[in-house]
Amino acid sequence: MAQVHPTAVVHPGARLHDTVEVGPFSVIGPQVVIGAGTRIGPHVVIEGRTTLGERNHLFQFCSVGAAPQDLKYAGEDTELVIGDENQIREFVTVNLGTVAGGGATRLGHRNLLLANSHIAHDCIVGNEVLLANGAALAGHVTVEDAVKISGLVAVHQFTRLGRYAFISGGSMVTMDVPPYCTVQGDRATLVGLNTVGLERGGFTEEQIGRVKEAYRILFRSKLGLQEALAQLRGELSGHPEVEHLVRFVETSKRGVTR
């Protein structure tokens, strides 16, 4: 049996693995599924159709799976899916999806959500993402792997953050942030590459060199965007790190931060 503190309230319909721990005064709803090795601290609320994977750690006072903060939401059967080995710190809020946004909010593996951060409805968050204190993702935001979002950042709805991007503290992000890039300011603008993140992520010197050249062509040359993309396809095609950047820019709907 799961180790449930006597003061916790766990609905009989909830499904908890035998190795789950639930702390004092926590509340777990009827549609919740929690995987092996997950620890639920005191005063945590998990509700809605929420699935938690294995070895997650939810700290005190966080709220996971609550109804979306969307006036159009009328109680539809939507869900929140969270992967493995995530840390969800104090006062974090993660909401269910909405029908209009595909019906699900999704969070991958090994993410760190620091105190008071927020993930709204229909967000898709990858793996090894950091949301620092007070960072907030509006609805329908997509965050690729290994993005670092500093404190007090606000990300506009429907925005995408590319893999290994770094968002500086206090930034207001209203357009897509290209992979590998660093942005800052209100409204956020490009200030360079996240080379430290790339090095820590295991990119080789050759890969980082190609990313630097792609950045130069896209954002520091006098070429128009389509001309720059064509030059990248001609000169640096066949390299996955550059092809990912090109696809990201080509598929942007909100426009790319420059």
Query: Is position 18 annotated as part of the catalytic site?
Result: no
Contact 53, 69 (CB under 8 A): no
Query: Is position 192 annotated as part of the catalytic site?
Result: no
Spacing of C-alpha 197 from chain mean position: 16
Here the tokens at position 193 are 């590459």
- Catalytic pick among 48, 65, 122, 126: 122
- Catalytic pick among 43, 109, 118, 121: 121
Q: Write the CA distances from 27 to 16, 49, 254, integer angstroms.
A: 13, 14, 39
Query: Is position 122 annotated as part of the catalytic site?
Result: yes
Give ∠ CA 182-185-189 in degrees, rounded to 5.
50
Residues 6+ away with beta carbon under 8 Å from 109:
53, 83, 84, 85, 86, 127, 128
- Catalytic pick among 139, 151, 162, 197: 139
Q: What residues are annotated to the active site?
A: 121-122, 139
